[in-house]
Structure 1
Amino acid sequence: MSRTYVVTGAASGIGKALTERLRREGDTVIGVDLRDTDVTVDLTTAEGRTALVDQVTEKSGGTIDGIAAVAGLALPIPATVGVNYFGMIATLEGLQPLLATSSAPRAALVASLAAIEPFDDELHAALVAGDEQAALTRAAAIAADSGSGASNTIYNSTKNAIALWMRRVAPTETWAGASIPLNAIGPGVIATPMTADLLATEEGRAALGAGAPSPLNGPAAPPTAPAALLHWLISEENTHVTGQLIFIDGGAESIRRGKDI
């Protein structure tokens, strides 16, 4: 039976690959992004988050079967905080009532291997506390102090915090209590225009491969690989997995944390 899904970040990367996969399967997808999709909104703003819920409600008729919250940024700017954390939570919480009307609801979000990397304590605390203004202010200070080096610090902070949020809320009445499994994936290196230069050289591939055993197909995954994992998590086939952050990273997490997890 055809299902109706919402995919944020649907215009490119993992979100686009997932959207294409779902549509090939005969499912209905309501894509969300800044451009070139069904719902065009800016998830860094309160207006955009409200418009997302309103438009999805209208286009879906009030019921959706799955959400894949994929939209994200990896830039050294405060907007990364707005999209990766507060925008993602607003998407999932805002659409949860539509999911709850489905006979087989599922939800998943994209975290990152960066969730286990060092982060900024002050920014992270503001995120976990749900203080968006404090988080944006701290991210702006990090960007001003660190320049381009701020990218990893801001990104890591948001990805760790969103993974913790997922773990915290997945077992609650809002999600598990409403029969909605909520999970996350943690991609490692994905073959995108951002990594193309590194992957084009033997030295670059070796550098990327040094951080993970990558037993299959090299150090970088195509967007279709994490899209396939998301597809399963939000499908009816997922009957028992919830509250999990599943790494799809060529084994990098297993090397970095080993026996400590």
Structure 2
Amino acid sequence: MPRTYVVTGSASGIGRATADLLVERGHRVIGVDVHDADVVADLTTDDGRDALVAGVTAASDGRIDAIIANAGLATPTAKTVAVNYFGTIATLERLRPLLDGSPAPRAVATASMASLFPPDDALLDALLAGDERAAAARAAELEGGTPEQGNLIYGTTKRALVRWVRRNAASPQWAGAGIPLNAIAPGVVVTAMTQDLIGTQEARDALLGMVPMPLNGIFEARDAAYLLAWLTSEENAHLCGQVVFIDGGSDAVIRGDSTF
């Protein structure tokens, strides 16, 4: 049966691949992005998050079946904090009421295997406290610091996001309402976001030194789309609060036999 999906970050990368896949399968997709989307919204701002809710509500007549909160940035800037964490959570929480009429409501966020990397503790604490002003201030400090400090921003936002999913998935608002809430954690994916990181063999080798992917290496966005499509399908009725690493083995190599 056709379902109605909301996909943020739908104009490129994993979001575009996911939207295309779902449409091919006969579903309706309401794409959200800063350009070339059904709903144009900048999730780094309060006004943009309001526009997201208003636009999706109008486009769906107030009823959707699944949320794929995929929009994100990988820049060493405060904007990455705004969209990767606060924008993603706003997407999930503020669109959740539109799932009420679905016989099989589903929600998933796109995190990253970078959630495994050591975070900036001050930024992580501000994110988990829900203090966007403090988080933006700390991100600005990191952005103005060394390249190593700036590079902590992305992984820290993804660490905070997966912890938010783990903390909330089993709550009355999600599991208690029959909504499986989960996340995926991709490894290195071929997208516009990663072009500079994988443009040469030397660059690819250096990146894979940090992100080991022994199973088939760097992969296409379509592969992540297949997983997102399943997690938000009627077939997935019982996964709750899981962070599914689709990373060619990075998690297994980095964490070994530890599952936490």
Which bracket does the TM-score occupy, shorter chain normalised? over 0.9
> How far apart are 1:151 and its partner, in Å?
3.9
Structure 1 equivalent of residue 17 of structure 2: 17
Summarize deviations over 1:186-217 as a string: whole Å, max 9, x none: 0011112444455454444444445435223x
Question: Structure 1 pair 44/195, CA: closer, same or farther in 2 (3 Å)?
Answer: closer
Residue 177 of structure 1 aligns with an amino acid whose one-letter code is G
Instruction: Name the CA distance, whole Å, in 1 between partners of 2:100 and 2:151.
Output: 36
* TM-score, structure 1 normalization: 0.94
RMSD, matched Cα: 1.5
Structure 1 equivalent of residue 174 of structure 2: 175
User: Runs of 5+ in structure 1 lacking a partner?
Assistant: none
Summarize deviations over 1:110-137 as a string: whole Å, max 9, x none: 0000111011100000000000000000
Structure 1 equivalent of residue 26 of structure 2: 26
Q: Is the 8 A contact 2:144 2:150 kept in 1?
A: no
Residue 108 of structure 2 aligns with an amino acid whose one-letter code is A
Structure 2 equivalent of residue 55 of structure 1: 55
Instruction: Name the CA distance, whole Å, in 2 between partners of 1:66 and 1:174.
Output: 15
Structure 2 equivalent of residue 119 of structure 1: 119
Dislocated runs of 4+, deviation >3 Å: 148-151, 193-211
Aligned partner of 1:236 among 223, 231, 234: 234
Instruction: Name the CA distance, whole Å, in 2 between partners of 1:193 and 1:47.
Output: 26
Alignment of 1:1-261 (within 5 A): 1-146=1-146, 148-196=147-195, 199=198, 201-210=200-209, 211-216=211-216, 219-261=217-259
Classify the secondary structure of the residue corresponding to 2:240.
coil
Mean alpha-carbon deviation: is it higher for 99-108 or for 207-216? 207-216
Instruction: Name the CA distance, whole Å, in 2 between partners of 1:84 and 1:197.
Output: 20
Residue 214 of structure 2 aligns with an amino acid whose one-letter code is S
Aligned residues: 258
Fraction of identical pairs, as percent: 53
